[in-house]
Structure formats: C-alpha cells, structure tokens
Structure 1
Amino acid sequence: MNQPAINRTMTPLEWAMLLALSVLWGGSFFFTGVAVKELPPLTIVVLRVGVAAVLLLVLLRILGIKMPSELRIWVAFAGMGLLNNVLPFCLIVWGQTHIASGLASIMNATTPLFTVVVAHVLTPDETMTGDRLAGVLLGLVGVAVMIGPEALTGGGANVVGQLACLGAALSYAFAGVFGRRFKRMGVPPMATATGQVTASTVMLLPVALLVDRPWSLAAPSASAWLAIGAIAALSTAVAYVLYFRILATAGATNLLLVTFLIPVSAILLGTLVLGERLDPKHVVGMALIGAGLAAIDGRLLKLARPRGPDRPVPAERVPPDVFKGQDI
C-alpha cells in the first residue's frame, strides 16, 4: 500500500496545527499546576486518561473506526499505555508538587534527547550521527545547568521533582520506540491513541481507588474541575487528534519542532496566571536544550554548511515514527 507523501516544508495549515498542539501540550502543565493544589497525583492522572478515553471512543464511533479485538493488540496497548501514559503522567504530576509547571515542561523537552539514544540502541535504522551526538551532549549540559549543583549536595525535594520529570521524558522515549509496532500491526493511529488511554485507565483506576481513596477527599473547587476537564479534553483527546494528523502529513521530523514551543506556552501560562518564577539557570538550560534539538533536527546545520554546485541535494530522510505516541 502506498504511503502518503510527507511534506518536507510544512504548509501554513500544518504550522497552525503545530502551534495549536504546543499550546495544548504546554497547557497540560498549567492545568496540572492548578489541579495538583487540590487533588492527589493518581486521581488527576486517572481522571485525565479516563475522560480522554471516553471522548476518543465517542469520536471513533462518529468516524466509524472500529477498535481491534485481538488480545495481542490489547497487550500492546497496555504496554504503550504504561510507557506513554501511566509512568510519565504520574511522574510529571508528582514532580509538579515540588517544581513549577514551566520548569516541568522544560524537563519534558529533553524527550527527543533520550529518544535519540534509545532509538540508536534498540532500532536498526536510527543510528547515532555526529550531529545527533552533539545535540544529545548539548541537551544533557542544559539539563545539568538547570538542575545545578544541588543535585550533588542533596538539594531536597526540588531536585527530586526535576528528576521525576526527567524520568517521565525517558519513559516517553521508550514509548516512542515501542509505538512503532502499531503501524506494522495495521492499527489506525486514532485507534492506537484510544487503545492506550483506555488501557491506562484500566490499569490506573484500581490503584487510584486503593491509594487515594477519592471518596474521602474534600470536594474540589470549580477551578480544579475545569482544569481536569481541560487537561483531559484539550491536552489529551484533542491533542492526540492534532498529533497524528501532523505526523501523517508532515512527518516525525517536522513534528519534533513542537518540542521547542511547549515550554514557551507552559512558562507563559505559569508566569502570567499562577505567578510562578524561573531562575536564570533554567532559561540558560532551556536555550542549551533548544540548541541540542536544533542539532538533532539537522536542518539549521544543513543550511549553514556550504554545498558544492555540482553535488545533488539529498532528499531529507524522514525518520521512522520514533516519536509516535509522545503526550505532554
């Protein structure tokens, strides 16, 4: 079956969708920052994936897309849900009980750095190039700058919160590689998104009921409920629709650019609405991560390098869906 052509240069519509996606995913850190003041982490996560699962199931029904029934596919959904929802969502929400939403989003921007390393080790077609190695090293320096010397001197909960968000980024990296199997299994992208949040809900619900005992919690305020609804409907369900649309038309390389934009949205929302403040070292660290991502992406370096007049311009190699399945 012929695959749809990938736009090497994104159209204005694709750029608009990319900007919208960055706002939705950046907003997830803001909405979590609101909800975590009144609800425990597990309850927030199970509400996020549960409401998103219901919305996506309704959307699939409207679109006439059937969910697969094979056991092996649902086992894969469970694996994807664990790596792409359960572990990272819990780590990020818990991490945001100790650090600001903007800083959490910066830590999450390290996902492509980890993905380059994981893909190099676990896949035969995503080898580490010099540009990508330089990008990973720059990004890791940025992370070290953000965490600071407190990590070496037992800096307390703030450092632990940052490490939790880095652990979420690493989990997303493994999820990206794991998610490549769904294309080979013939599962439509929308069904993959729905299957993973449904499986995540099934895994998380009994744990949340046992640990958080939500019936014993104080009733959340209207702002907390609005934040939960927004993170589920906008930052999860709608974001997945945009994500897979961009991936299908513009490719994974172009989709990677959203990582530059998510921290900007999260920092602006956190600063303007929640009154959060970031240290100068966090801004410097984000700049280094951005430089690392630019090196991994490679297009800026290609523009800077002189090209001989007689040498043909190579077609841009679109990597396989290494980043397929990533959610912030």
Structure 2
Amino acid sequence: MKRIERKSFGLVILAVTAMIWGGSYIFTKVAVESLPPMLLASIRFGIAVVILFPLSIRRRGSFSTVSHRNAALAGLFGITFYFLFENYGLTMTNASDASIIVSTAPILTIILYDFVRRRFDLFEYVGGFIAFSGLFVIIYSGSFSEGSSVSGNILSFGAAVSWAAYTYFYEKIHNSSIWTTLEVMFWGLLFSVPFAITEVFVFKRPVEFSRSAFFGVLFLSILASALGYILWNKGITLWGGKAATLWVYTIPLFTIAADIVFLKNSPSLLFFVGSILVGLGMVVVIIREFRQSAPLRDRINQ
C-alpha cells in the first residue's frame, strides 16, 4: 500500500473510531437507565475480552513483571475508575456535557507527564487554563441545563483524570498489540466485578434487561470496546500517536449531534461558551505539542 493510500486508510479508520466512541455516550446514557453502571461496564468488557481473546492469542509477546504491573494499573484507571466515573456521571448529566468534559483528558495527560518529568511549559499551561475555564463554565451550566447537573459533570471530570492516568501507565508498557489491549481489559474487568456485585447484592440496584439495554451492551462491547480499540491502535500505526490523538477532540462533535438527534437534548448557551473555551485551549496545547520534537513516549521516560 502506497504512503498516501495508507494515510487515507488511517484517516478513515480514525474517523470511524471517533464516530463510534462519540456514539458510545448515547448508548451508555440509555443503557444505565436499565442496568447499574458498573454491571454495565463489567458486561461490556466481559464480552469484549471474549471477542479479543481468539484474535490475540497468537500475538502474545514476552512481558516483564513491570509491564504486567503497568497493564494492571492501566486497567484499573482506564477501565474500572474511568467507567465508574463516566457511567455514574451519565446517570446525572447529559451525554454532550460528559463528552466535552472527558475530552480534556489529553490536556490532563500532558500536565501529568510534565509533573512526573518536572519540566513545565508556559504555552501548555496557558492552553490548559483556557480549556479549564471553559470546563468550569460547562460544569457550572449543569445548574441551569435540563438533563444536566453539577454532580454529574464533576464525575465526568473524574473520568478525564482517570484516562490521563491510564494513558501514562499504558504508554509505559511499550507494546500496542491486541494482546496488550486484552490484558488491560482483563485487569479492568477483574477490578470492576466487585463494584458490580456490590451494586446488585449490597445496594440492591434494580436490573432490567430491556431491549434498549440489550442493544446498548452490544454496541458498547462489540463496536466501542473490541472493534474500537483495534481500529484505534491501527490508526496510531498509520498516522502516529500525536496525529491520532487529535481525533479525541472530534468525539464530542459526534456525541453532541447524536444527543440532539436521538435524545432530543438542546445544549444551553453556557454550554456553547464553555465548549468554545475548551476548544481554544486545546488548539493552543495541540500547536505546542506538534512543535515539540520528542514523541510522547520519549517524554515520559525523560
């Protein structure tokens, strides 16, 4: 395949992945009305693990003890804690607010890396300040928007923090194979099950396997989890990590469109003001990141 064809193919892959992950907020929002949030996460990744196992068994590499530890931590933060915050957040706020707030995760990731390496950049923090000003406006707008709440928006921010930690530990594994993805999902599933059991048997949260929940689980497990991660990793291979990361910022666009069309939610004026500020802050950070010569993984280990 020629270079231009590979780039075009990678572009299509990343766009499809962004659309799938943008739609995942809508399906999660609908599914958590019938299933407890962590039971939904456990079922979702249980099915994804079953799908990925036969695809990855022949591609298993040799991992060190440190790699296994980082995979476990990536699963804890990127799956268990992330979906603990996101799924519970979506029971209190709308999908559009949640997707915009979670899309600040790359900025939080950069801040985390800077803290670890103790090397700080003024432009990154100017962009971060602008983005978080917008984030505050969106969270605050939950007091006035129908279907939104400050509590749900704060939980969504917890998901963004968890994703930043996930990215840090996943990058330290130095392996992007399907088997690595499977191991991270397995650890995340393992840590999530106790929460699901607690929801059902201790807090007696109702479980209703409705038609909407059934289709939601299918979409989230097969498309958003199994296929989504495979496509994302392939897109990174064809475009590179930094260029691929740009597509994270397009996810809210697909979520907002789906939220308006399918759930009939109309974002408030404050939401749009906050979204513009978040977007401006992200642009500043993106421009600065692309001017940096060292890849993200190299920066972690500096």
TM-score by structure 1 length? 0.81
- Would the aligned equivalents of 2:37 and 2:84 in 1 still touch at CA under 8 Å? yes
Q: Does 1:147 align with 2:143?
A: no
Write out per-residue CA displacement over residues 263-289 of structure 1, whole angstroms, 9 at most, x where no aligned residue. 011111111111222111111211211
Query: Percent identical across equivalent pairs?
Result: 23
Equivalent position SS for 1:11: helix
Partners of 1:168 and 1:190 lie apart in 2 by 23
2:7 to 5, 11, 20: 11
**Paired AA for residue 158 in structure 2:** G
SS at 1:182 equivalent = coil
- 1:95-137 Cα offsets, whole Å, 9 max, x none, are 001111111101111111211211101136xx43333222111
Equivalences for 1:131-142 in 2 at 5 Å? Answer: 131-142=123-134
- The verdict on how the C-alpha distance between 1:21 and 1:150 changes in structure 2, with shifts beyond 3 A counting, is closer
How far apart are residue 139 of structure 1 and its match? 0.4
Partner of residue 101, structure 1: 95
Aligned residue pairs total 292
CA distance in 1, matches of 2:166, 2:298: 9
Deviation at 1:317, TM superposition (A): 2.3
- 2:76 alignment counterpart: 82
**Among candidates 189, 193, 202, match of residue 177 of structure 2:** 189
Offset of 1:50 from its aligned partner?
1.1
Letter in 1 for 2:273: V
The 1:42–1:68 alpha-carbon spacing in structure 2 relative to 1, beyond 3 Å, is farther
Given that residues 88 and 171 in structure 1 are in contact (C-alpha distance below 8 angstroms), is that contact kept between their aligned partners in structure 2?
A: yes
In the TM superposition, 1:95-174 aligns within 5 A as 95-123=89-117, 127-148=119-140, 158-174=149-165
Q: Tell me, which stretches of 5 or more residues in structure 2 are unaligned? A: none
- 1-structure distance, mates of 2:78, 2:208: 29
The alpha carbon displacement at 1:149 in A equals 7.3
CA distance in 2, matches of 1:216, 1:144: 31
> What CA distance in whole angstroms lies between the structure 2 residues aligned with 1:275 and 1:323?
43
Give the direction of change, closer, same or farther, for the CA distance of 1:28–1:199 in structure 2 (3 Å limit).
same
Q: Normalized against structure 2, the TM-score is what?
A: 0.87
Distance change (3 Å), C-alpha of 1:323 and 1:123: closer
Of Structure 1 and Structure 2, the greater helix share is in 2
Map 1:213-232 onto structure 2 (within 5 A): 213=201, 217-232=206-221
The match for 2:249 is 260
CA contact (8 A) 2:142 2:153 kept: no
Deviation at 1:56, TM superposition (A): 1.2
Kindly indicate whether the alpha-carbon contact (under 8 Å) linking 2:79 and 2:189 is maintained by their aligned counterparts in 1. no
- Greater CA drift, 203-212 or 19-28: 203-212
CA positional deviation for 1:222: 1.8
Residue 57 of structure 1 is aligned with which of 44, 53, 57?
A: 53
Task: Mark the runs of 5 or more structure 1 residues left unpaired by the alignment.
Answer: 1-6, 152-156, 303-314
